[in-house]
């Protein structure tokens, strides 16, 4: 399926690996030029080179820490300078710490909200005028922890719920400004971030990797982990003209894990 992104310019945050890199790849395969943001310049360069080689689209990068209050505006300005327009924003960067509530520190909470929530807010503030001009679209990559709370995911769950509220608020604003806003809630997706969770399970269960993975799958009632490109396809669809009537929607993509209305 082609989702018609030819000539569009897109920013993806957290695009140096995992879900963000996969989203950037799929958007480029569908014709978009990409502006990739994360901290690691070598990783960004590797992803960008792969995109250019595979798709022939442009892929520019900016290495910066999105917790820094000035980084989002700098990223948007650099993307607009490179492409002369902005049609798509994907807020994906996130790194909330998991663990026992009483072991989590003030710094863990600050960086969790500072990157995933405030980073998305600041990216949106800087990108919005350009998205308004282009009648563009925005997708926030959130997480099913926004719907289902758990004791070991206090920061991530709180950040995700806040980001869902922000998504809906900007969707409301987008009805008048002509910017489409949606969110994706991934379940368990096979990335480095999930590797951390598998390691925690191995320690907790004193088990090998395969046993720990089997335990997580059984605990969540799912048959397998999702793959990053599956989130990429959904994001590409949501920002495309095919999804023009989808607005203010939160889409779970989790293999059936979330059994909520
Ligand atoms: N994987 C899952 O199962 C899952 C489930 C639900 C939701 N999610 C959400 O999906 C998003 C992507 O997850 P993922 O699994 O792909 O994570 P990941 O593999 O850990 O990748 C995170 C990305 O964010 C970037 N990043 C981290 N800290 C940053 C900072 N301070 N400034 C700028 N960029 C930063 C990383 O690059 P650098 O390190 O180079 O900066 C990397 O590109 C996250 O928001 C996560 O919460 C993931």
Q: Is residue 75 part of a domain?
A: yes
Task: Give yes or no for residue 61 CB within 6 A of ligand 1.
Answer: no
Atom of ligand 1 nearest to the CA of 19: 16
Q: What is the pLDDT of residue 259?
A: 92
* CA-closest residue to ligand 1 atom 20: 193
Q: What is the pLDDT of residue 1?
A: 73
pLDDT at 235 over 80: yes
Instruction: Tell me, in angstroms, the distance from the centre of ligand 1 to residue 131's CA.
Output: 23
Count of domains observed in the chain: 1
| CB half-sphere exposure, 37, CA atoms < 13 A | 27
Determine what percent of the chain falls in helix, strand and coil, rounding each to the nearest 5. Answer: 55, 15, 30
| Cα 19 from Cα 87, distance rounded (Å) | 20
**Which residues span the domain enclosing 182?**
9-187+226-251
For residue 139, tell me if it sits in a domain. Answer: yes
In the reported structure, the alpha carbon of residue 96 is separated from the centroid of ligand 1 by a whole-number distance in angstroms of 9
For 28-66, what is each residue's pLDDT tens digit? 999 999 999 999 999 999 999 999 999 999 999 999 999
* pLDDT tens readout for residues 69-128: 999 999 999 999 999 999 999 999 999 999 999 999 999 999 999 999 999 999 999 999
Residue 135 in any domain: the answer is yes
Write the pLDDT tens digit of every residue in 183-233.
999 999 999 999 988 998 999 999 999 999 999 999 999 999 999 999 999
Q: Supply the angle between the helices 118-134 and 154-177 in degrees, to the nearest 10.
A: 20
DSSP 146: G
Q: What is the pLDDT of residue 2?
A: 79
Q: Is residue 258 part of a domain?
A: no
Q: How far is the CA of 176 from the centre of ligand 1 (A)?
A: 31
pLDDT of residue 74: 98
CB–CB of 200/206 below 8 Å?
Answer: no
- pLDDT value at position 145? 96
Query: Is 120 among the domain residues?
Result: yes
CATH of the domain at 14: 3.40.50.720
What separation in Å is there between the alpha carbon of 252 and the centre of ligand 1? 18
Asked if residue 203 belongs to a domain, the reply is: no
Residue 261 pLDDT:
83
Q: Judging by DSSP bridges, how do beta strands 33-38 and 59-63 pair with one another?
A: parallel
Give the bridge partners for 71, in sequence order: none
Q: Ligand 1 centre from 192 Cα, in Å? A: 8
- Per DSSP, helices labelled H in 84-148 are 106-112, 118-134
Cβ of 36 less than 6 Å from ligand 1? no
105 vs 135: CA distance, rounded Å: 41
* pLDDT attached to residue 260: 85
Q: Is 226 in the pocket of ligand 1 (CB under 6 A)?
A: no
Is residue 208 situated within a structural domain?
A: no
Atom of ligand 1 nearest to the CA of 93: 24
Q: For tokens 């995933």, name the residue.
A: 116
111 lies in a domain?
yes
Q: How far is the CA of 53 from the centre of ligand 1 (A)?
A: 24
Q: Please write the tens of the pLDDT for every residue from 141-184.
A: 999 999 999 999 999 999 999 999 999 999 999 999 999 999 99
């Amino acid at each position: 399926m082609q989702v018609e992104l030819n000539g569009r310019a897109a920013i993806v945050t957290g695009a140096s690996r995992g879900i963000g890199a996969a989203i950037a790849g799929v958007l480029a395969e569908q014709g978009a030029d990409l502006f990739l943001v994360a901290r690691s310049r070598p990783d960004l360069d590797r992803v960008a080179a792969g995109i250019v080689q595979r798709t022939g689209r442009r892929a520019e990068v900016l290495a910066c820490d999105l917790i820094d209050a000035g980084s989002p505006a700098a990223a948007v300005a650099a993307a607009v300078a490179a492409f002369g327009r902005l049609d798509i924003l994907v807020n994906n960067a996130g790194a909330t710490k998991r663990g026992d509530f009483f072991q989590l520190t003030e710094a863990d909470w600050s960086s969790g909200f500072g990157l995933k929530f405030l980073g998305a807010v600041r990216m949106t503030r800087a990108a919005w005028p350009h998205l308004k001009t282009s009648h563009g679209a925005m997708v926030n990559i959130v997480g099913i922890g926004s719907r289902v709370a758990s004791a070991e995911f206090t920061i991530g769950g709180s950040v995700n719920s806040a980001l869902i509220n922000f998504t809906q608020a900007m969707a409301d604003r987008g009805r008048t400004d002509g910017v489409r806003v949606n969110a994706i809630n991934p379940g368990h997706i096979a990335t480095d971030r999930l590797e951390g969770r598998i390691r925690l399970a191995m320690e907790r269960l004193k088990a090998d990797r395969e046993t720990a993975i089997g335990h997580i799958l059984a605990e969540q009632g799912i048959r397998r982990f999702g793959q990053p490109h599956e989130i990429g396809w959904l994001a590409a669809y949501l920002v495309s003209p095919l999804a023009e009537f989808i607005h203010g929607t939160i889409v779970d993509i989790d293999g059936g894990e979330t059994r909520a209305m």
